[in-house]
């Protein structure tokens, strides 16, 4: 009897969409509840990301009759990280460019204050730097989110795959198929 292998892309996509919803909620919660955008509390968004990556691997193992090789676990987890990163990148761009451009404005003004405090740059140079921050900030934010999720996801997928692996034992009762 042949069983159909579960699809790791389907499982990873489901959890990446759930991660996106959690990220949107946390982004707006932090925007309104945490006055300092540089607060370390912003790293709390890693908790659902890591949890959803493990849940991706766990669900894939359950769909695979409770068995999971290291490669299958890594594949499912890393797919989640890539999909979550791409979805986050789209959200970050839309958030910074359209939904909450004031966040980019605050970041540009913080950059201006830091550049003025350091000294060594003329007023025109600082104005150009701040202008570039406002213009390209959403693009760099989106790109950074995608890369960050992929790198963190790579590491967490390796850890999760090694923890959750459960290799199916060989069934010695069935005769081996003849090789030609």
Kindly tell me if the per-residue pLDDT of 1 is higher than 60.
no
- Read off the pLDDT of residues 6-65 as tens digits, 9 standing for 90 and up: 899 999 999 999 999 999 999 888 888 877 767 788 788 899 999 999 999 999 999 999
Q: What is the pLDDT of residue 105?
A: 84
Placement of tokens 């790791």 in the chain: 8
User: Alpha-carbon distance 89 to 86, whole Å?
Assistant: 5
Q: Which has more confidence, 39 or 71?
A: 71
Mean per-residue pLDDT for 108-120?
A: 80
Q: What is the 3-state secondary structure (H, E, C) of 34-85?
A: CCCCCCHHHHHHHHHHHHHHHHHHHHHHHHCCCCECHHHHHHHHHHHHHHHH
Angle at 87 (CA atoms; ends 85, 91), nearest 5 degrees: 110
Q: In this structure, what are the phi and psi dihedrals at residue 120, rounded to the nearest 5 degrees?
A: 90, -10
Indicate the SS3 state at residue 166. Answer: strand
**Which distant-in-sequence residues (6+ apart) come within 8 Å of 139 by Cβ?**
93
Q: Which has more confidence, 24 or 177?
A: 24
Dihedral of the CA atoms 18, 20, 25, 29 (nearest 10)? 140
- Read off the pLDDT of residues 119-148 as tens digits, 9 standing for 90 and up: 777 788 878 888 888 888 899 999 999 999
Distance of CA 159 to the CA centre of its chain: 16
Q: Which runs of consecutive H residues, i.e. helices, occur in the chain?
A: 8-33, 46-63, 70-94, 101-118, 123-164
pTM for the model: 0.84
Q: What is the pLDDT of residue 175?
A: 63
Q: What is the residue-averaged pLDDT of the chain? A: 88
């Amino acid at each position: 009897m042949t069983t159909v292998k579960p699809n790791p892309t389907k499982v990873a996509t489901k959890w990446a969409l759930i991660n996106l919803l959690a990220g949107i909620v946390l982004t707006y919660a932090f925007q309104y509840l945490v006055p300092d955008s540089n607060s370390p509390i912003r790293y709390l968004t890693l908790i659902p990301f890591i949890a959803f990556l493990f849940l991706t691997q766990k669900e894939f193992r359950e769909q695979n009759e409770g068995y999971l090789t290291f490669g299958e676990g890594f594949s499912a987890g890393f797919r989640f990280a890539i999909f979550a990163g791409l979805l986050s990148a789209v959200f970050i761009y839309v958030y910074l460019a359209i939904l909450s451009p004031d966040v980019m404005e605050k970041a540009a003004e913080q950059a201006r204050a830091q550049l003025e405090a350091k000294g060594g740059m003329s007023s025109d140079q600082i104005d150009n730097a701040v202008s570039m921050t406002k213009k390209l900030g959403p693009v760099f934010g989106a790109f950074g989110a995608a890369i960050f999720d992929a790198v963190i996801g790579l590491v967490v997928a390796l850890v999760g795959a090694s923890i959750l692996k459960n290799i199916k034992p060989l069934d010695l009762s069935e005769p081996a198929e003849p090789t030609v």
